[in-house]
Amino acid sequence: MSGPVEVVAGVIRDKTGRILLARRTEGRDLAGLWEFPGGKREPGESPEAALARELHEELGIDITCGAPVIAVPQRYPHKRLRLDVRHVASWRGTVKGHEGQALVWAPPHTLSAYAMPSADIPVVAALLQPDRYLVTPAPNGSDAAWLESLEASLTAGIRRVQLRAPHCPPARWAGLVEAAVDACRRHGAEVLINGDIALAQAMDVGVHLRSAQLAEFDTRPLPKEQRVGASCHTLDDLRRAEAIGCDFAVLGPIAETATHPEGQPLGWEGFAALREDVALPIYAIGGMGIADIAIARAHGAQGIAAIRALWG
């Protein structure tokens, strides 16, 4: 079997921070959908050179390639591709659609409103949503110590938090959740509660579904304004999370961990292979550290989910 088609695309910004999208013209695959300008790499061509060539041909601009955003392995009905997306560090010239394609400068918060190919769903999420998803540990010491560690995580920049405390007595947990939601709101961080939809509704926050819960739902259990995440271990889990309308998934374990030693590790290749078949932002979990964020992005992940590496 031949390998995936290698595609490189650019995130081009104007002076006000808007991002350039191009509409795929009629008669090609995925016609009518909006995409980040770019195209296929030629044999022996570096991604940077391919991006510069494509953007010169398609838009008439000269660019300097910047940092990687994400590389998304994706399967379509008739082909597999790896969409390698780079920031465009700088560009010169006047942007014009040289191939008859429509163009739009989209403010970042409007990106999700454009119909795009499946591979672009994780790209938009990578541009707009946090690359670190903190999962709290069970409160083994005092409430105050646990809340202090949460506060430290938020101060360090964590902006998406899953409140999880297996075996914590309900009354104690309810008190901790209330204080934790408060702290997260002060820092502008998003909160999802593990498993407990009623508690999420009562607190007006998101819910993180356990993999065993995925079979219980046909649609997302909370409205669009409240985040819904899901823990996944298999392709079936991921497909289910996508069908329900989850905002993102967590997939693992990538490596073995002390807290979940029973899981058969997927490794990065296993992760990338599973991510090909859905259009979802997916965090990698299981033995992840800060240094894994770049590796995760190179395998199509939104970033990492972790307890220890992100706590305190």
Ligand X SMILES: Nc1nc2c([nH]c(=O)n2[C@H]2C[C@H](O)[C@@H](COP(=O)(O)OP(=O)(O)OP(=O)(O)O)O2)c(=O)[nH]1
Interface ranges with ligand X (CB under 6 A): 7, 9, 28-30, 35-36, 38-40, 54, 81, 83, 117, 119-120
DSSP class per residue in 202-263: HHT-EEEE-GGGGGG-SS-SS-TTS-EEEEESSHHHHHHHHHHT-SEEEE--SS--SS-TTS
Of the candidates 70, 36, 84, the one whose C-alpha atom is nearest the C-alpha of residue 284 is 70
Out of ligand X, Mg ion, none, which partner does residue 81 contact, by CB within 5 to 8 A per kind?
ligand X
Footprint (CB under 5 A) of Mg ion, residues 30-59 = 39
Provide the 8-state DSSP code for 109.
Answer: G
CB of 132 to ligand X, least distance (A): 24
**Which ranges of 156-299 would DSSP assign to H, the alpha helix?**
170-186, 197-203, 235-244, 267-275, 292-298
Closest CA to 6 of 119, 170, 134: 119
Nearer to ligand X, 82 or 160 (CB): 82
Rounded to a whole number of angstroms, the minimum distance from the CB of residue 9 to Mg ion is 8
Q: What is the largest CA-CA distance in the chain?
A: 64
Two tokens at 266? 């997927």
The residue (of 9 and 125) whose beta carbon lies closer to Mg ion is 9
Q: Side chain identity at 232, as an amino acid letter?
A: C
Q: Which does 161 bind (CB under 5 to 8 A by kind): ligand X, Mg ion, none?
A: none
What, of ligand X, Mg ion, none, does residue 125 touch, CB below 5 to 8 Å by kind? none
**What is the rounded distance in angstroms from the CA atom of residue 86 to the CA atom of residue 305?**
23
- Min dist CB 280 to ligand X, Å, is 15
Q: Answer with the entry of Mg ion, ligand X, none that 256 interacts with (C-beta below 5 to 8 A by kind).
A: none
Cβ distance to ligand X smaller for residue 51 or 158? 51
Smallest separation (angstroms) from ligand X to the CB of 116: 7
Least spacing, CB of residue 268 vs ligand X, in Å: 21
Residues at the contact surface with Mg ion, assessed by CB under 5 A: 39
